[in-house]
Structures are given as C-alpha cells and as structure tokens.
Chains A and B, each alone.
Chain A
Amino acid sequence: MTGEAALGSSPWDDATLAAALFATDPVGLQGVAVRALAGPVRQVWLALLRELLLPETPVRRVPLHISDGRLLGGLDLAATLRAGRPVAERGLLVEAHGGVLILAMAERVAATTAAHLTAALDAGEVRLERDGLTMRSPARFGVVALDEGVDEDERLPNALLDRFALPLDLTAIGTREAIGSLYVPEDVAAARQLLPQAEAGDEAYNALCGAALGLGVASLRVSVLAMRVARAAAALGGRTAVEEADLAVAARLVLAPRATIVPPADSPEDEEAPQPPPPSEEDEPQSQPDESNDESRQEDKPLEDVVLEAAQAAIPADLLAQLMQAGQGRSRARSAGKAGMIQQGSLRGRPAGARRGEPRAGVRMNLVETLRAAAPWQRVRRAESPAREGRPRVEVRAEDFRITRYKQRSETTTIFVVDASGSSALHRLAEAKGGVELLLADCYVRRDRVALIAFRGREAELLLPPTRSLVRAKRSLAGLPGGGGTPLAAGLDAATALADGVRRRGGTPTMILLTDGRANVARDGTGGRARADEDALASARVVRSLELTALLIDTSPHPQPKAERLAQEMGATYLPLPYADARTLSRAVMAVGEG
C-alpha cells in the first residue's frame, strides 16, 4: 500500500516517485530541482523521467549561456535575409510548450535567464517585445533544473526554487542504489487520465497549509504546489480523492526540504507542550512517537499532524542539525545569502545600444540594427546595381554594420575586514560597527556591493559574500560576536582572496580594514605575537603586490605604530581614529574610493 511505502521509502524510491509525479503533471508542478553532480545516478534518473513522460512530450535543453534571443525568440536572421521581410523565430521556451525544459548548470544561471523563466511560468506564455517583433505565444512547461552546486552557497536562484514543486537531492544516493523504479510508463499514463478528477477536501487544504506553517515554509506558492503534488500522487495511486498518504507524499517531497523551523510537536524531549494538536492531550499517554505503533496511533490523530510528521521524517538530518543549532534567524539569513551569487553574470557588460563599426574579433555585430541601417537604402541600391541571378534580397554594405556596445560597468565591491578580537572588542567593536554601518549607507547610495569578513579567535570568516542587500549586511554585522585572539594574517588572507575573486569577475575591490594592528595569532592558528606580526606583515605585502585599494582604520584608543606599519606594508591609507567619528570615517573611505 502506498501509505507504508511512503513512510519507509529509500531515497531512490522517493526519487523515482518524484519522477513519476512530475511526469504526471509537468506543467502543473512547474519544476524539479535536481541537486546532484553529473554522474550515473543523475543519468539514470533523467533516463527514467524520459521514459515516464509521454513519448510525444517535447524536451528541450537550455545551455547555461543561452542568449535572450534564443530563449524567448526573436528575428530569424537567415530567414529574414532570404525573404526580405522580418521572419520571427521561436524561442526555446515556446518550443517546450506542453513539455519539459532541462536547465543545465542551473546553480549558475544568469539572473535575467531566471527572470524569463519565472515570467513564462507565471503567465503560461511568452510575451515577446524585441527586434521589432511583438508576439505572444503559449509556453506552458515544466523545468528540470540540474543543480550541480557543491557548496551551500551554490544553489538555484530563490525565485526559481520557489516555483518548482519538487526539490530533489540525489547527492546521497549511490550508484548501486539507483536501480529500478516503482513506476512504469503505464502508471503515469493512467494517472494523467485521472488527474483532472482528483479532488481534495477541506481537511486536505487544512493539513497541508498547517504543515507548511508548522515547518516555516512561508511562500504560498509552495503550498499551492504541494496541493498539486498531492493530487498527482492520488492520481498515481489510482484514486480520485486525495488521501492521507498523498498528503504525506506532498509534505515529504515538497515541504520538508524547505523547512526553516523544526515544529515544536516534533521533539518529545522538548519542554514546551506541543501546540498544534490540542486533542492529543486527553486521549494519549505520554508515549514517544514510535515507528512500530505509528499505524494504530494514526487514526486518532488530526490529519495535519500526520502530514507534519511525514514531513519531519524527511527533513534532511544536516538541515535539522543546522536548525537546532542556530535557530531560525540564522537559517533564514543563510538562505537569503544565496541570492547574491547569481547576479554576477548579468552585470558583466550589459548591452547599451549599438553603434556603427566593423565587426572584428572581440566585438559582437548587432544584426538587427545592421538590418535597420541597411533597410532605408534597399530601393536605391537595387536601382544602382543591375539585377542578376542570385542577388540577395537585402543588400547589406560595410557602412551598415552596427556593433553592440557593452557597458562594462566596473562595479565597486567594498570589502570590510573587521577585527572582532578581544583587544578590539573590549571597547571599540560597537563603535566600529557604527562606523561600518555608516559606510554601508554610503555604499548603498553609490549602489556598491559590500562584503564582510570578520576575524577573531583562530580564523577569519566570510560573514557576508558580496551583496547589495544592505539589510542583509546589517543583519550579519549586528550578529557579529567579539572576543578571542587576533588572527590578523588570516583576516588579510581571506580579504585578499575575496578581492582577487571580485577582480576576476570584472569588479573593482576596495578593502577597508578595521583593526588595532595587534596580531597575536599566526597564520597556522598558533599563538605568539612575534610570529603573528610577521605573518600579518607578509600578508600585507601580498595586498600591496596586488595593488589593491585599501584603507586601514586604526581603532585603538591611541594610534598604534604597529597598525601604521601594517598600513605601509599594505600600501593602504592609514587613518587613526582615536574617536570613532563615523562621519570622518565615511569621508575618508570616499576619498580612498576616488583616489
């Protein structure tokens, strides 16, 4: 029976279930986010999905660096030139109508590509306004996003994740486990027939919405998607009414992976009385929720709890640990932090109009603008040259060539490196924080990005990867604890590595170091002032060799020769701030940025 299978299913069984559910209703479920490295397991899963989908379902693959024109459609240049009038070309989104779009390397997808996908998913059509064309074409599809991210930070953009019903993690599944499937194409075909009749009652809505709230899944879109998954599960089970087991499937596959809080009802050791199930108090002994007597208990439990429990069983262990350890605020901050990564692609040189020019290597010809330039002259040119066989319908001459200008806006990323060690923290950390906040406000005005690195104890930590969200920056700054040793070298190294990365991506890094310069932890984490100083100076020289713009703000009550020396070695501007006057600070940073 599905119920039992649902409770004790292996990860691979769940993966096949997800494939079957998605194949049943790709358009309704909108997407699967498959997290796995390229490899046999993913290959097997994709092959299974292909098999389960109806044979005539269109499947299109979107490469990472797809152009807007190919994705959305636009002017078909070859055909336009042949015909001598504009001919439109369909984009991939439209070609995938009624089927599936496979998004490769989805964790690195450009923000604009993601936005086109979400717009099409929301509207069910592609609205085209480009290359002199205005078209609306239906585009209802489901997405299989192949997320090859390894780090916590490498993930799908939240805007996409929010619209995909099924987040699926295959990373933990071994090659040997990925064998067989609980479902065959006939099951899916039958489920597709049943799906329109699958009905859900009030208590089903209640249960799923309640479970979503209990797990801290805020987005309402996810609840809507969970309901659709429950329907698909019912249809797949050959039923037209959504039952408990179907809701459990939805909770496990849709809600659990997105949980941001551990519901209080879950942990029996918890001091607090479980809030959601009031009836349980009277008719239940204080027994632990045990797998063995689960069956018997299920009947007198509210549906919502059953659903919630199913979800809890499926919350990944590491996520649970993270949540337990850090509480909800932290995890939110983390998930929010992922958005920062995506934007880099789109900011590297945006098209900013076209100008006349020769198409040489290294520049991109703008075909549409070239045609526009050529268009008014067609009649004249035809008259000039005698008609002959094979003459092109449109005559394009060298003077018509237009090339796209890209505006390479070199974005400034200000990296704050904050000394949060004991010596600094004692009386200056709060002031330094205040100063940094003011600087952040400046960065906001200038639309810069900011990053924050703190060092204390033995190591440096990247608290905030480069971002433009200042609310997020402030949050991580406020949560910055102080105390411990001063691993100055580690802090400098981390900042240098980050600055180098920013520069590689075409940005301009500026480093602002707030410290008293009194290092006492060496690069390898051992104590001792002498070695620590030496290491710090060595790291400082690296900064100088890279010619990074830097500012050192001495935060000690009396200017420290050590800090000044460090600034010299870094090639940084030295600014002693006996009184952390935030305004002076801000002005100084501005001056460095301009210099």
Chain B
Amino acid sequence: MSVVFPFSAIVGQEEMKTSILIAAVDPSVGGVLVFGDRGTGKSTAIRALAALLPKMRVVVNCAYNCDPQASEDDLCEACRGTRVKQTLKSRRVPVPVVDLPLGATEDRVIGALDLESALTRGEKSFEPGLLARAHRGFLYIDEVNLLEDHLVDALLDVAASGENLVEREGLSVRHPARFVLVGSGNPEEGELRPQLLDRFGLSVEVKTPTDLPTRMDVVRRRDDYERDPAAFIARWKRKDGKIRRQIESARANLSEVRVPDAALERAAQLCMALGTDGLRGELTLIRAARALASLEGEDAVTDSQLQRIAAPALRHRLRRNPLDDAGSTTRVERAVEELFGA
C-alpha cells in the first residue's frame, strides 16, 4: 500500500510540519521527536514526508545505499573494493523512510545471517537489516517509548557512531548507517529514556486542536481521503509538489545561508538563559534556524527563525524538572520573550 495521506493536506500542526521539513533539508539537525495527544496525525505527517523527498543517487546493487561520491569511510566494504578498480555505477532512488515496527526482532534491525542461503546452499552471508536500509534516509519509530530496551541500546550505539557493527553467528560485518531518527509517541504510555531523548535534534509537542473549524477540516479531509484516496491525492498533488520544490531549493541553497554573528550571539544568550546542557542545543538551534531560513528563501538567519525554532530545538534539553507541569515549552517561550521582546 503505497498510498499515503498527502503532507500538504494535514491541517494545522505547523510546528510539527516545520520541524519535519527542517530535518528533510538538513539531516545534521539530528532527527525529530513528535510527542503528543492521540489522533493528531503524528505518524501521518512522517509517512507523508516520504513522498516529498527528492531522489538520491546510490550505487547500483549496493544493499547499503552507498553514495557513489562518498568518502572512503562512508562506503561499505564491497563498494570500497569496487571503486578502487572502476567508477561506481549509480542510479536514482527515493530516499528511504524505513519503519521500525514494534515487535521487530534484533536480527532484522541490525542484520543477521541469511537463513535462506545458509540452509539451502550452506553459505555464510550477511543479510542486512533495517539499519542498513535506512542509511542516508530516515528511520521512523512509532510508539518509540514502547520500544524494547535492547533495541534502544543497539539503536543508540549506531546513531552515535554512524556505522553498524555486527558480530554474531560467526559474522563480522561493518557498514555505514547514518540516518535521521524520527520518533513519535504518546506520553501517556510512558516517558522516553533520557539517552534516547537526547538523540533527537528537535522535539515537537502536538496537541489536539480545540477550535471547531480546524477540527471539522481534519475530520472532513480524513473522511474524503478514506473514501477515495486516489482522487484525494490527485487534488493535493500540486500543493505537495510545491513543498517538494521548496525542500529541493532549500537543500541546494543551504550552504549559502549566512549565519550572522548577531544570530550566533542570540542563540548563545538563549541557551545560557535556559541553562541547557552542553553545546548541542546551541548547535541544533543554529542549524535548524539556518534550514528554516533556507526553506523560506532567506539568505541569512534572523531573529524570526530563531524565535520560532527555539522551542522544538531546546525544550527537551532543559535540565528537566519532570514535575513541573508548566513544562519546558513555557520556559523556552518565556526566555524567548525576554530576550527578543520589543
């Protein structure tokens, strides 16, 4: 079933949509976590993203989506060997958005001995897992807070190092696995492990809209889509196309967007005022603001982008007081207001 609800048809939830687009423009921002109420289109938005991503070049017949232009370290063993002898053949494929379903077993996530060839031909070969398939793309985990601990451990390790090292069943395989981690979940089911939380560049909170017109729009569009998906997708095709072009040009122009000293200073001030740990927050804030500026066709980062992206970039990095109901969002907003206020 390749039909998905069109991204442009998602009503409201601007922060979520912006954050997802930012991750698509600049993977180095470090992924998005979407946490919030049930039935707010969290997974819909992420699945819809797949349809919007521009294609990428990969080496033909490479199980790891290797980039033919990549540096030595970023190639899998096979491609590295081949490139010494000849130029790598490549083709354009859609950017992978890989689902990590709940209940996935460890062997499928990190890869394992290929049972088929082992049983039928007695050959010992490696069957790449989901992490290999997600290389250079997105790895999506719905209900991320329900993910089993041993999988989280495996994931954390790979996400930190950018490569997957498999040592099992007498196999020893190392392959690149650099992906944008996207997670969603409902806080009612339990909180996220702090280490995992830290892996996400942006953290978005979604709430159910409470005004009637918005709610009617959501219900009606969902209903229209369910009743005739093809017609509905056709109707939103142009708007989706516009977003796709926006992502493409934002990617192309990203390196041209200037980050003036004033903006750097602002970001530093904001992080200091909030007492965020380490430099990661500042870095993410700047990168996300730059990607946002690029999406909006600006050539430099201004206060406007910093202001809007501050909450998703910083709210999960505050030294947490889990009992503070007012929550980190309010704290970020307050700090933004104080700093940028008139």
Using a CB–CB cutoff of 8 Å, the interface residues on chain A facing chain B are 28, 68, 72, 75, 80, 84-86, 111-112, 115-116, 118-119, 122-125, 127-134, 136, 138, 158-159, 162, 196, 200, 205-206, 208-210, 212-213, 218-224, 227-228, 336, 339, 343, 350-353, 368, 371-373, 375-380, 394, 407, 409, 437, 440-441, 444-445, 447, 468-471, 473-475
Contact, CB under 8 Å: B212 / A206: yes
Contact, CB under 8 Å: A468 / B190: yes
How many Å lie between the Cα of A332 and that of B112 in the bound state?
46
Contact, CB under 8 Å: B127 / A130: no
Contact, CB under 8 Å: A123 / B189: no
How many Å lie between the Cα of A221 and that of B322 in the bound state?
29
Contact, CB under 8 Å: B322 / A223: no
Contact, CB under 8 Å: B322 / A205: no
How many Å lie between the Cα of A372 and that of B222 in the bound state?
45
Contact, CB under 8 Å: A375 / B113: yes
Q: With a CB–CB cut-off of 8 A, which chain A residues contact B122?
A: 375-380
Contact, CB under 8 Å: B108 / A134: yes
Q: With a CB–CB cut-off of 8 A, which chain A residues contact B120?
A: 84-85
How many Å lie between the Cα of A228 and that of B220 in the bound state?
11
Choose the segment among B38-46, B67-75, B83-91, B278-286 that binds chain A (4+ C-beta atoms closer than 8 Å).
B38-46
Q: Which 3 A-B pairs rank lowest in CB-CB distance, beginning with the nearest?
A: A375-B118, A221-B39, A379-B122
Chain B residue at minimal CB-CB distance from A339? B188
- Report if B187 contacts A (CB, 8 A): yes
Contact, CB under 8 Å: B188 / A158: yes
Contact, CB under 8 Å: B208 / A116: no
Chain B residue at minimal CB-CB distance from A219? B39
Contact with A along B297-330 (1 / 0, CB 8 A): 0000000000000000000000001110100000
Most chain A CB neighbours (cut-off 10 Å) among B119, B220, B227: B119
Contact, CB under 8 Å: B118 / A129: no
Contact of A371 among B119, B130, B218 (CB under 8 A): B119
Contact, CB under 8 Å: B216 / A209: yes
Contact, CB under 8 Å: B191 / A468: yes
Q: With a CB–CB cut-off of 8 A, which chain A residues contact B218?
A: 220, 223-224
Contact, CB under 8 Å: A112 / B102: yes
Contact, CB under 8 Å: B215 / A209: yes
Contact, CB under 8 Å: B321 / A116: no
Contact of B119 among A84, A409, A474 (CB under 8 A): A84
Contact, CB under 8 Å: B115 / A86: yes
Chain A residue at minimal CB-CB distance from B123? A376
Choose the segment among B143-151, B159-167, B175-183, B258-266 that binds chain A (4+ C-beta atoms closer than 8 Å).
B143-151
Contact, CB under 8 Å: A220 / B216: no
- Report if B193 contacts A (CB, 8 A): yes
Contact of A132 among B40, B108, B219 (CB under 8 A): B108
Q: With a CB–CB cut-off of 8 A, which chain B residues contact A468?
A: 190-191
Could you tell me the distance in whole angstroms from the C-beta of A337 to the nearest C-beta in chain B?
Answer: 10
How many Å lie between the Cα of A7 and that of B67 in the bound state?
66
Which positions 92-126 of chain B face chain A at CB distance < 8 Å? 99-109, 112-116, 118-120, 122, 124
Contact, CB under 8 Å: A68 / B103: yes
Q: With a CB–CB cut-off of 8 A, which chain A residues contact B149?
A: 350, 352, 407, 409
Contact of A375 among B119, B210, B220 (CB under 8 A): B119
Could you tell me the distance in whole angstroms from the C-beta of B129 to the nearest C-beta in chain A?
Answer: 8
- Report if B342 contacts A (CB, 8 A): no
Q: Known contacts A112-B103, A353-B150; is A471 also within 8 Å of B114 by CB? A: no
Chosen A-B contacts, 22 in total, with CB atoms closer than 8 Å, are A72-B103, A111-B146, A115-B102, A129-B101, A129-B105, A130-B103, A130-B105, A132-B107, A132-B112, A162-B38, A206-B212, A210-B212, A220-B209, A220-B218, A220-B222, A227-B223, A350-B150, A371-B115, A372-B115, A376-B169, A469-B188, A471-B325
How many Å lie between the Cα of A219 and that of B188 in the bound state?
14
How many Å lie between the Cα of A123 and that of B2 in the bound state?
10
Contact with A along B211-240 (1 / 0, CB 8 A): 010011011101100110000000000000
Contact of A124 among B1, B43, B100, B215 (CB under 8 A): B1
- Report if B170 contacts A (CB, 8 A): yes
Contact, CB under 8 Å: B148 / A350: yes
How many Å lie between the Cα of A479 and that of B101 in the bound state?
39
Chain A residue at minimal CB-CB distance from B120? A85
- Report if B142 contacts A (CB, 8 A): yes
Contact, CB under 8 Å: B102 / A218: no
Contact, CB under 8 Å: A85 / B219: no
Contact of B189 among A222, A224, A339 (CB under 8 A): A339
Contact of B113 among A72, A372, A447 (CB under 8 A): A372
Q: With a CB–CB cut-off of 8 A, which chain A residues contact B223?
A: 200, 224, 227-228
Could you tell me the distance in whole angstroms from the C-beta of B59 to the nearest C-beta in chain A?
Answer: 21
- Report if B248 contacts A (CB, 8 A): no
Q: With a CB–CB cut-off of 8 A, which chain A residues contact B191?
A: 444, 468-470
Contact of B40 among A220, A351, A394 (CB under 8 A): A220
Contact, CB under 8 Å: B116 / A85: yes
Could you tell me the distance in whole angstroms from the C-beta of A140 to the nearest C-beta in chain B?
Answer: 9
Contact, CB under 8 Å: B321 / A441: yes
Contact, CB under 8 Å: A209 / B219: yes
Could you tell me the distance in whole angstroms from the C-beta of B265 to the nearest C-beta in chain A?
Answer: 33
Q: With a CB–CB cut-off of 8 A, which chain A residues contact B189?
A: 111, 159, 339, 343
Chain B residue at minimal CB-CB distance from A116? B103
Could you tell me the distance in whole angstroms from the C-beta of A317 to the nearest C-beta in chain B?
Answer: 27
Contact, CB under 8 Å: B130 / A129: yes
How many Å lie between the Cα of A444 and that of B319 in the bound state?
13
Q: Known contacts A129-B104, A134-B108, A441-B322; is A376 also within 8 Å of B170 by CB? A: yes
Contact, CB under 8 Å: B118 / A444: no
Contact, CB under 8 Å: A123 / B103: no
How many Å lie between the Cα of A353 and that of B110 in the bound state?
13
How many Å lie between the Cα of A469 and that of B145 in the bound state?
12
Q: With a CB–CB cut-off of 8 A, which chain A residues contact B227?
A: 196
Could you tell me the distance in whole angstroms from the C-beta of B289 to the nearest C-beta in chain A?
Answer: 30
Given pairs A224-B218, A351-B148, 19 additional interface contacts (CB within 8 A): A115-B143, A129-B108, A159-B38, A159-B186, A159-B189, A209-B212, A223-B218, A224-B223, A339-B188, A339-B189, A350-B150, A352-B150, A375-B119, A378-B119, A378-B122, A444-B191, A444-B323, A470-B322, A471-B323
Contact, CB under 8 Å: A474 / B105: no
Contact, CB under 8 Å: A218 / B130: no
Contact of B219 among A80, A134, A205 (CB under 8 A): A205
Contact, CB under 8 Å: A220 / B119: no
How many Å lie between the Cα of A339 and that of B146 in the bound state?
13
Q: With a CB–CB cut-off of 8 A, which chain A residues contact B1?
A: 123-125, 136, 138
Contact of B169 among A336, A351, A372 (CB under 8 A): A372
Contact, CB under 8 Å: A205 / B38: no
Most chain A CB neighbours (cut-off 10 Å) among B193, B210, B219: B219
Q: With a CB–CB cut-off of 8 A, which chain A residues contact B198?
A: none
Contact, CB under 8 Å: A130 / B323: no
Could you tell me the distance in whole angstroms from the C-beta of B52 to the nearest C-beta in chain A?
Answer: 19
Q: Known contacts A72-B103, A112-B146, A130-B103; is A372 also within 8 Å of B208 by CB? A: no
Could you tell me the distance in whole angstroms from the C-beta of A365 to the nearest C-beta in chain B?
Answer: 15
Contact, CB under 8 Å: A206 / B216: yes
How many Å lie between the Cα of A394 and that of B118 in the bound state?
11
